[in-house]
Chains A and B, each alone.
Chain A
Amino acid sequence: MFAFLYFTLWSMILLIAETLLRSAGLTVPLLAFFFVAASFAVSPGMALCFALVFGVARDFVMGSFMPWDGLVLAALTLPAVFLHAKRPGSDALEFLAGAMIPLVVALPSAWTVMTTPEAFASLLTSCLLGAILLPVAFGLVSRSADRLKIGVWNSADGGE
């Protein structure tokens, strides 16, 4: 129940922040970073469900005619489900994953990104930000999950 509230609150806040940033011309996939981090640190199943629901909600808010965001966010959390919530290996991997996430999120609009220099520059900025933000998201989410005792490693692996 507590994990459900945790996911709901963060998803809502990040959805608003992300859509406002998008409206200002900045594509920073905050929801994707949160769901990827939460799928490894809190609950992969719940992260997958919330990624689907809030991804589709973002599609609705933006007036999209296809639920690309929902599918892409779900696809990003799926690896954690298959890896049974393994803790990510190293910081270098987190940087790399963070840089890759904006590329995956931009896949549905790949043609626009390839043909518009502004969109391509914005994507590169997102990749750089992603390399910084994903490790931060991992740190914040796992620490808060540990404090709230909703983390994956609290019970089974005895915490940190």
Chain B
Amino acid sequence: MAVFKKKVKVSRIVLFAAIPVVIAALVLTGFFTFRRTLARFSLDFYYPFYQAAKKVELAGARQALALQSRQDLASAVEQLQRQNALLAAQVQRLREMEADNERLRQELRMPRWSGYHEVYAEVILRDPATWSEQFVISKGLNDGIETGDPVLTFQFAPRGGTPSCVLAGRVVEISSRTSVVATVVNPACQFSVSLAESGASGTLTGNGADAGTALISRLPLKSKYGLGEMVLTSGYSERTPQGICIGFLTDAPMGANRAAVVHDGGLFAEAWMKPAASLDNIRFVVVLTGK
């Protein structure tokens, strides 16, 4: 009788232990099998609710503007007009360069450059656990965005200078009306990059939010690299234009005052990059999509 009771007890313990394991296995299998479809469905289903909350926030921000003095508003408008004029001049110059580029390509019989189309979007959702690693934006497939498109953000210059665009990350998940963006420090985000001064090229992979840096691997051993050297997109991928600033070379994470570059198994060199974008405070982004 005692043996029978013991057997029942053991089988009950085994059953209690097996249930969570089976549930976990089922959840993981289901998650990875239907991930794409269910993620699209969930993101689209909840989009109106999050968008409504953002609209309320925006309305509140507009009302808060009315609390500012006329003098403050007038000086802000003046500053924006100045910035607008500078940006308009830059756009005009770029248009001329684009036309020149087109003409030269025709003369050299090179394939026509299709260019990029910019989609302006707002950050609608962030998780404190992955705050600087990823976020959800308010545009998706319906706006022409595709998985893998680069995402830029604005870096405002001090004292009313013209803002510049720097690379923030890449679209990794997409639904009809929203996209999930992995930032340059997210391990799921990779870019082909080149260094501004040495001209060397390598592969950039995020190191995670804790490190706050990204690793550039497969750099040539013989080139010389300096701290603070600018990291740019290489343009080897058709999706990402060349020459967009991503960040600057920084100290190796193992300790201060160490060289920025260490050897990767003796064949290549590797370096660490600090992102140019302040990833914690991104509110608006521009997604570059193929035309």
Binds A, one of B102-110, B113-121, B125-133, B142-150: B125-133
Given the interface pairs A20-B50, A71-B24, the reply to whether A111 lies near B210 with Cβ below 8 Å is yes
CA distance A64 to B31 in the complex (A): 11
A113 to B49, CA, bound (A): 29
- Interface pair A112/B129, CB less than 8 Å apart: yes
The residue that B128 contacts in the complex, of A56, A60, A122, with Cβ under 8 A, is A122
In terms of DSSP, what is the predominant structure of the interface of chain B?
helix
Closest CB-CB distance, B261 to chain A, in whole Å? 25
Query: Among residues 1 to 51 in chain B, which have CB atoms less than 8 Å away from a CB atom of chain A?
Result: 16, 19-20, 23-24, 27-28, 30-31, 35, 38-39, 41-43, 46, 49-50
Given contacts A20-B50, A65-B188, contact A75 B20 (CB under 8 A): yes
A109 at the interface (CB under 8 A from B): yes
Cβ contact of A70, chosen from B31, B43, B125, B209, cutoff 8 A: B31
- A144 within 8 Å of B (CB atoms): no
Residue tally, chain A, CB below 8 Å to B:
37
Chain B contacts of A15 at CB under 8 A? 46
List of B residues within 8 angstroms of A75 by Cβ: 20
- A60–B39 alpha-carbon span in the complex (Å): 5
For residue A78, which residues in chain B have a CB less than 8 angstroms away from its CB? 19-20
Q: Given the complex, which residues of B lie within 8 Å of A63, measured CB to CB?
A: 39, 134, 136, 172-173, 180
Complex: A62 Cα to B16 Cα, angstroms: 31
Residue of B whose beta carbon sits closest to that of A58: B42
Alpha-carbon separation in the docked complex, A153 to B18 (Å):
28
Tell whether B97 is near chain A: CB-to-CB under 8 Å: no
Asked whether any CB of chain A lies closer than 8 Å to the CB of B53, the reply is yes
Question: Does B124 have its Cβ within 8 Å of any Cβ on chain A?
Answer: yes
Name the interface residues of A22-41: CB closer than 8 Å to any CB of B.
22-23, 25-27
Q: List 23 A-B contacts (CB under 8 A).
A: A16-B46, A16-B49, A23-B126, A23-B127, A25-B131, A26-B128, A27-B129, A56-B27, A59-B31, A60-B39, A60-B41, A63-B136, A63-B172, A65-B188, A67-B28, A67-B31, A74-B23, A75-B20, A78-B19, A82-B16, A109-B129, A112-B130, A116-B210
The 6 closest A-B pairs by CB, nearest first: A63-B180, A109-B129, A60-B42, A67-B31, A60-B39, A62-B127
